[in-house]
Protein backbone atom coordinates (compact mmCIF):
# COMPACT_ATOMS: atom_id res chain seq x y z
CA UNK A 1 0.00 0.00 0.00
CA UNK A 2 1.39 3.40 -0.91
CA UNK A 3 1.04 6.38 1.31
CA UNK A 4 0.21 9.90 0.15
CA UNK A 5 3.23 12.25 0.45
CA UNK A 6 1.50 14.62 2.89
CA UNK A 7 -0.08 11.86 4.98
CA UNK A 8 3.15 11.46 6.94
CA UNK A 9 3.13 15.17 7.86
CA UNK A 10 -0.46 15.14 9.10
CA UNK A 11 -1.18 14.44 12.72
CA UNK A 12 -4.47 12.73 13.62
CA UNK A 13 -5.97 16.10 14.57
CA UNK A 14 -5.09 17.53 11.14
CA UNK A 15 -6.62 14.59 9.29
CA UNK A 16 -10.05 16.23 9.20
CA UNK A 17 -12.19 14.84 6.37
CA UNK A 18 -14.43 17.93 6.46
CA UNK A 19 -11.51 20.13 5.30
CA UNK A 20 -9.69 19.76 2.01
CA UNK A 21 -5.94 19.29 1.73
CA UNK A 22 -5.55 22.84 0.36
CA UNK A 23 -7.60 24.25 3.25
CA UNK A 24 -5.42 22.43 5.77
CA UNK A 25 -2.28 23.68 4.01
CA UNK A 26 -3.62 27.26 4.13
CA UNK A 27 -4.42 26.93 7.83
CA UNK A 28 -0.89 25.67 8.54
CA UNK A 29 0.57 28.56 6.52
CA UNK A 30 -1.43 31.12 8.50
CA UNK A 31 -0.41 29.55 11.82
CA UNK A 32 3.25 29.45 10.71
CA UNK A 33 3.15 33.13 9.65
CA UNK A 34 1.63 34.18 12.99
CA UNK A 35 4.20 32.17 14.93
CA UNK A 36 6.99 33.68 12.84
CA UNK A 37 5.68 37.20 13.55
CA UNK A 38 5.48 36.36 17.26
CA UNK A 39 9.11 35.16 17.28
CA UNK A 40 10.29 38.34 15.52
CA UNK A 41 9.01 40.55 18.34
CA UNK A 42 11.72 42.26 20.37
CA UNK A 43 12.06 42.10 24.15
CA UNK A 44 10.20 45.38 24.64
CA UNK A 45 7.28 44.27 22.46
CA UNK A 46 7.07 40.93 24.28
CA UNK A 47 7.10 42.71 27.63
CA UNK A 48 4.35 45.11 26.48
CA UNK A 49 2.27 42.20 25.13
CA UNK A 50 2.70 40.20 28.35
CA UNK A 51 1.68 43.13 30.54
CA UNK A 52 -1.26 43.95 28.25
CA UNK A 53 -2.39 40.32 28.26
CA UNK A 54 -2.19 40.12 32.07
CA UNK A 55 -4.00 43.43 32.59
CA UNK A 56 -6.82 42.24 30.33
CA UNK A 57 -7.74 39.35 32.64
CA UNK A 58 -9.98 39.15 35.68
CA UNK A 59 -6.97 38.06 37.75
CA UNK A 60 -5.64 41.61 37.32
CA UNK A 61 -8.88 42.97 38.82
CA UNK A 62 -8.76 40.50 41.73
CA UNK A 63 -5.12 41.37 42.49
CA UNK A 64 -6.05 45.06 42.63
CA UNK A 65 -9.09 44.44 44.82
CA UNK A 66 -6.90 42.50 47.28
CA UNK A 67 -4.15 45.14 47.11
CA UNK A 68 -6.50 48.10 47.69
CA UNK A 69 -8.34 46.29 50.47
CA UNK A 70 -5.09 45.39 52.25
CA UNK A 71 -3.80 48.95 51.78
CA UNK A 72 -6.92 50.50 53.31
CA UNK A 73 -7.09 47.99 56.17
CA UNK A 74 -3.38 48.39 57.03
CA UNK A 75 -3.80 52.18 57.10
CA UNK A 76 -6.60 52.11 59.67
CA UNK A 77 -4.09 51.55 62.47
CA UNK A 78 -6.15 48.67 63.96
CA UNK A 79 -3.48 46.02 63.64
CA UNK A 80 -0.81 47.71 65.75
CA UNK A 81 0.89 49.24 62.72
CA UNK A 82 1.03 53.00 62.39
CA UNK A 83 -0.71 54.19 59.21
CA UNK A 84 1.95 54.77 56.55
CA UNK A 85 -0.56 56.33 54.09
CA UNK A 86 -3.53 57.72 56.04
CA UNK A 87 -6.80 58.71 54.39
CA UNK A 88 -7.13 60.12 51.64
CA UNK A 89 -4.34 57.70 50.63
CA UNK A 90 -2.12 60.09 48.69
CA UNK A 91 0.66 57.53 48.19
CA UNK A 92 -1.80 54.95 46.88
CA UNK A 93 -3.28 57.53 44.52
CA UNK A 94 0.17 58.40 43.17
CA UNK A 95 1.11 54.73 42.69
CA UNK A 96 -2.16 53.94 40.93
CA UNK A 97 -1.76 57.02 38.68
CA UNK A 98 1.75 55.95 37.70
CA UNK A 99 0.51 52.42 37.09
CA UNK A 100 -2.27 53.78 34.83
CA UNK A 101 0.24 55.84 32.82
CA UNK A 102 2.56 52.88 32.24
CA UNK A 103 -0.29 50.44 31.66
CA UNK A 104 -1.89 52.66 29.02
CA UNK A 105 1.51 53.03 27.32
CA UNK A 106 1.98 49.24 27.22
CA UNK A 107 -1.52 48.83 25.78
CA UNK A 108 -0.78 51.44 23.10
CA UNK A 109 2.49 49.71 22.19
CA UNK A 110 0.65 46.40 21.78
CA UNK A 111 -2.15 48.02 19.81
CA UNK A 112 0.33 49.71 17.47
CA UNK A 113 2.02 46.39 16.77
CA UNK A 114 -1.33 44.65 16.22
CA UNK A 115 -2.42 47.50 13.96
CA UNK A 116 0.73 47.10 11.85
CA UNK A 117 0.07 43.35 11.56
CA UNK A 118 -3.56 44.02 10.59
CA UNK A 119 -2.40 46.51 7.95
CA UNK A 120 -0.02 43.93 6.48
CA UNK A 121 -2.84 41.35 6.38
CA UNK A 122 -5.12 43.95 4.78
CA UNK A 123 -2.48 44.66 2.13
CA UNK A 124 -2.18 40.93 1.46
CA UNK A 125 -5.98 40.64 1.20
CA UNK A 126 -6.07 43.53 -1.27
CA UNK A 127 -3.30 41.98 -3.37
CA UNK A 128 -5.10 38.62 -3.43
CA UNK A 129 -8.41 40.29 -4.29
CA UNK A 130 -6.82 42.25 -7.14
CA UNK A 131 -5.15 39.10 -8.43
CA UNK A 132 -8.45 37.20 -8.25
CA UNK A 133 -10.24 40.03 -10.07
CA UNK A 134 -7.59 40.01 -12.80
CA UNK A 135 -7.73 36.21 -13.15
CA UNK A 136 -11.54 36.15 -13.34
CA UNK A 137 -11.57 38.89 -15.97
CA UNK A 138 -8.99 36.97 -18.01
CA UNK A 139 -11.00 33.74 -17.62
CA UNK A 140 -14.16 35.45 -18.90
CA UNK A 141 -12.25 36.83 -21.90
CA UNK A 142 -10.82 33.36 -22.63
CA UNK A 143 -14.31 31.84 -22.43
CA UNK A 144 -15.51 34.44 -24.92
CA UNK A 145 -12.65 33.54 -27.25
CA UNK A 146 -13.47 29.84 -26.92
CA UNK A 147 -17.14 30.54 -27.67
CA UNK A 148 -16.19 32.56 -30.73
CA UNK A 149 -13.77 29.87 -31.94
CA UNK A 150 -16.46 27.19 -31.57
CA UNK A 151 -19.06 29.32 -33.31
CA UNK A 152 -21.31 29.60 -30.24
CA UNK A 153 -23.34 32.78 -30.14
CA UNK A 154 -22.01 35.14 -27.49
CA UNK A 155 -24.37 36.29 -24.73
CA UNK A 156 -25.36 39.95 -25.17
CA UNK A 157 -25.93 40.54 -21.48
CA UNK A 158 -24.53 44.03 -20.67
CA UNK A 159 -23.66 42.92 -17.13
CA UNK A 160 -21.41 40.18 -18.54
CA UNK A 161 -19.70 42.75 -20.75
CA UNK A 162 -19.05 44.91 -17.66
CA UNK A 163 -17.55 41.93 -15.82
CA UNK A 164 -15.10 41.42 -18.68
CA UNK A 165 -13.66 44.91 -18.23
CA UNK A 166 -10.50 45.32 -16.15
CA UNK A 167 -11.25 47.26 -12.98
CA UNK A 168 -8.70 49.74 -11.69
CA UNK A 169 -8.56 50.05 -7.87
CA UNK A 170 -7.89 53.78 -8.07
CA UNK A 171 -11.17 54.25 -9.97
CA UNK A 172 -13.07 52.34 -7.30
CA UNK A 173 -11.47 54.40 -4.52
CA UNK A 174 -12.22 57.64 -6.37
CA UNK A 175 -15.89 56.65 -6.70
CA UNK A 176 -16.10 55.71 -3.01
CA UNK A 177 -14.60 59.08 -2.08
CA UNK A 178 -16.99 60.90 -4.42
CA UNK A 179 -20.03 59.17 -2.89
CA UNK A 180 -18.82 59.79 0.66
CA UNK A 181 -18.27 63.47 -0.14
CA UNK A 182 -21.74 63.67 -1.67
CA UNK A 183 -23.21 62.03 1.43
CA UNK A 184 -21.40 64.51 3.71
CA UNK A 185 -22.63 67.44 1.64
CA UNK A 186 -26.23 66.19 1.81
CA UNK A 187 -25.93 65.68 5.56
CA UNK A 188 -24.51 69.19 6.05
CA UNK A 189 -27.25 70.68 3.83
CA UNK A 190 -29.94 68.91 5.88
CA UNK A 191 -28.68 70.36 9.19
CA UNK A 192 -29.92 73.92 9.61
CA UNK A 193 -27.29 76.47 10.74
CA UNK A 194 -27.28 77.47 14.39
CA UNK A 195 -28.79 80.86 15.01
CA UNK A 196 -26.88 83.38 17.10
**What is the pTM (predicted TM-score) of this model?**
0.61
HSE of 171 in the Cβ direction (CA atoms, 13 Å)? Answer: 4
Give me the long-range contacts of 126-133 (CB less than 8 A, separation at least 24).
Answer: 126/169, 130/169, 133/167
- pLDDT tens string for the chain (196 positions)? 444 444 444 444 556 677 788 888 888 988 888 888 888 888 988 999 999 999 999 999 999 999 999 999 999 988 888 999 999 999 999 999 999 999 999 999 999 989 998 998 888 888 888 889 888 888 988 888 898 888 888 777 777 777 777 777 788 888 888 999 999 888 888 777 666 5
Provide the terminal-to-terminal Cα distance of the chain, rounded to the nearest Å: 89
| 116-122-124-125 Cα dihedral, nearest 10 degrees | 160
Neighbours of 45 (CB within 10 A): 15
Q: What is the pLDDT of residue 15?
A: 61
DSSP state of 151: T
b/e code 76-89 from CB counts within 10 Å (16+ = b): eeeeeeeeebeeeb
pLDDT value of residue 30:
86
- Find out whether 161 and 141 touch, Cβ atoms under 8 Å: no
- Asked whether 89 and 75 are in contact (CB, 8 A), the reply is yes
- Between CA 155 and CA 158 the distance in angstroms is 9
Q: pLDDT value at position 168? A: 79
Amino acid sequence: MTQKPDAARQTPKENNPALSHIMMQNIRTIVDLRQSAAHKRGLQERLADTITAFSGRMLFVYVHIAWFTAWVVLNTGRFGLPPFDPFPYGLLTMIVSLEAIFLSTFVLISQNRLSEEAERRSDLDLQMDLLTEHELTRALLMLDAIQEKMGIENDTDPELAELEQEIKPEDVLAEIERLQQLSRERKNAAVPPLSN
